[in-house]
Amino acid sequence: MDNYRHKGLRRRLINTLIEKGITQERILQVMNQIPRHLFLDSAFADQAYLDKALPIAKDQTISQPYTVAVQTQLIDPQTEDRILEIGTGSGYQAAILSQLCKKIYSIERHEQLYTNTTLLLKKLGYTKVITLLGDGYLGSPRHAPFDKILITAGADEIPSALLIQLKVNGKMVIPIGDGEVKVMKTITKISDTEYTEEVHGQFRFVPFLKGTT
């Protein structure tokens, strides 16, 4: 499943991420350990360790490794954090976060992706990931509040339900804006009604849509 060739290609990818400015060693270590090719259709396995987004089912994508690393570095997962991820997709980002936090709840709106990825994560032993089928705009009130919330799809607005489910002093990372290119933002909740924002550059994402399919 994961051979010496894969490991060599991952090491090369990690060097690329370092050259692009990813500095947190613990994130680089986890990304060097996790076999990205297992989260892709076998037809794309040869491209798994290129620094680019690749297609998965339901017209979705597995994000570019650099984007995954940036979002992970921005969310800054800690060992006791309970994290909500919006957009499970192939499960790759959730698998990475699960090695860096206490528990991750991940919501997917496409039933086919939810079913397939739930089985894959279980098969690969990522037991800290709790997958949920639902509307990401609504979050998961029954599991809230969360220390961190990570949105892995491009939003037009910040969902108010997610802000409510974020703990005070908690952090949300969300790509937001008009058009295909989004601005990556970090939202920090400093009180029940007050937030601060930081901007971290532009990225491409599939759209953050309401409802389930």
Is 9 part of any domain? yes
Is 212 part of any domain? no
Question: Domain limits at 85?
Answer: 4-204
Give the global pTM. Answer: 0.96
Residue 167 corresponds to which tokens in the numbers above?
């703990």
CA 32 → CA 26, 41, 52, distances in Å? 10, 20, 16
**CA 145 to chain CA mean position, Å:** 18
Specify the residue for token string 């051979």.
3
CA 205 – CA 213 distance, rounded (Å): 19
Pairing of strands 61-62, 54-55: antiparallel
pLDDT value at residue 180:
80
Is 115 part of any domain? yes
Residues marked active site are found at 63
Per-residue tens of pLDDT for the chain, all 213 residues: 899 999 999 999 999 999 999 999 999 999 999 999 999 998 898 999 999 999 999 989 999 999 999 999 999 999 999 999 999 999 999 999 999 999 999 999 999 999 999 999 999 999 999 999 999 999 999 999 999 999 999 999 999 999 999 999 999 999 999 888 899 999 999 999 999 999 999 999 999 999 999
Q: What is the 3-state secondary structure (H, E, C) of the chain?
A: CCCHHHHHHHHHHHHHHHHCCCCCHHHHHHHHHCCHHHHCCHHHHHHCCCCCCEECHHHCEECCHHHHHHHHHHHCCCCCCEEEEECCCCCHHHHHHHCCCCEEEEEECCHHHHHHHHHHHHHHCCCCEEEEECCHHHCCHHHCCEEEEEECCEECCCCHHHHHHEEEEEEEEEEECCCCEEEEEEEEECCCCCEEEEEEEEEECCECCCCCC
pLDDT value at residue 33:
97
Query: Under a CB-based contact definition with an 8 Å cutoff, are residues 101 and 127 in contact?
Result: no
Q: How many domains does the chain have?
A: 1
Is 211 part of any domain? no
Is 33 part of any domain? yes
Is 136 part of any domain? yes
Is 187 part of any domain? yes
Query: Under a CB-based contact definition with an 8 Å cutoff, are residues 153 and 136 in contact?
Result: yes
User: In CATH, what number is assigned to the domain containing residue 96?
Assistant: 3.40.50.150
pLDDT value at residue 120:
98
pLDDT value at residue 110:
97
- What is the maximal distance between C-alpha atoms in the chain? 51
Is 48 part of any domain? yes
pLDDT value at residue 83:
98
CA 82 – CA 99 distance, rounded (Å): 12
pLDDT value at residue 125:
97
pLDDT value at residue 178:
87
